[in-house]
Amino acid sequence: MDEPEETLSLIIFSGTDDKLTSASTLVVGAAALGRRVDILLQFWGLDAFRADSVHREHGVAPEAPSDGARRLHDAHLAHWADVFAQAKEVGEVSIHACAQSMDALGITEQQLDPLVDGVEGIAAFMAEANGPVVFI
């Protein structure tokens, strides 16, 4: 077994609670294994990280079965924002807002949740992507 040295680069495009739950699980799992995680928030994923929005309901992916939202809600999983916070505590996890999406959606840096470490362009993100790149 070789040490996992490659960064897990993750673009979070989607902003529904089921996909964000899945993303946060992936990130905390990677961080717990000592893997660096670099996250770029785009479009609706970025929208979900606004400070006034994080803990609101964001629904589920529209493809979910008709009882999907209820089943997810009833499962009482840890909230994805808390799982991202936990991942940042146990490992080396950075979360940046995509500069283009900030402009496109008219979001300012002070509107973002403190989980977000700053704003970054795609070039800076890709320059650090020396391993898998995941789009959620």
List the x/- string, 90-129, binding to a second copy by CB under 8 A: --------x-x--xxxx--------------xxx-xxx-x
Rounded least distance, CB 106 to a second copy, Å: 7
User: Closest CB to a second copy among 26 and 81?
Assistant: 26
Rounded least distance, CB 55 to a second copy, Å: 16
Interior CA angle at 60 toward 63 and 50, to 5°?
Answer: 135
- Measured distance CA(114)–CA(106) in Å, rounded: 18
Question: Which one-letter DSSP state was computed for residue 104?
Answer: H
User: Closest CB to a second copy among 85 and 99?
Assistant: 99
- Measured distance CA(49)–CA(51) in Å, rounded: 6
Distance from the Cα of residue 31 to its chain's centroid? 13
Query: Where in 51-90 is the site for a second copy (CB under 8 A)?
Result: 59, 61-65, 68, 71-72, 75, 77
User: Closest CB to a second copy among 72 and 85?
Assistant: 72
Among 28, 87, 93, 112, binds a second copy (CB under 8 A): 28
Report yes or no: 9 and 131 within 8 Å, Cβ to Cβ.
yes
